[in-house]
Amino acid sequence: MVYRTVEVDVEIELEDFDTYDLIDELARRGTLAGDTEHDVTELLTAIWEKRRRGEDYQALLDNLIYQALGKIS
């Protein structure tokens, strides 16, 4: 049996993939942001400190949501 390697161009839309499939793939590659408890704890601490001081913490909160869910809005 003969095997050949070929290159194929395929057009896909990310919308065709389930969010959880994409997150699983990123985790498999080891590139998932915020996947450790330490990262989340740091973000939560920073949000808490800004909130306590009456400072704007929206950007940090958005970052936390994005890291946890992979999307904003």
Domain-wise residue ranges, the chain = 35-73
pLDDT digits (tens, 9 = 90+) for 25-62: 877 877 665 555 557 788 889 999 999 999 999 998 98
Cα three-residue angle 66-34-50, rounded to 5 degrees: 70
Q: What is the pLDDT of residue 39?
A: 75
Q: What is the pLDDT of residue 38?
A: 57
pTM of the model: 0.48
The arithmetic mean of pLDDT across residues 7-34, rounded, is 80
Q: What is the pLDDT of residue 37?
A: 56
**Angle between helices 37-53 and 58-69 in degrees, nearest 10:** 160
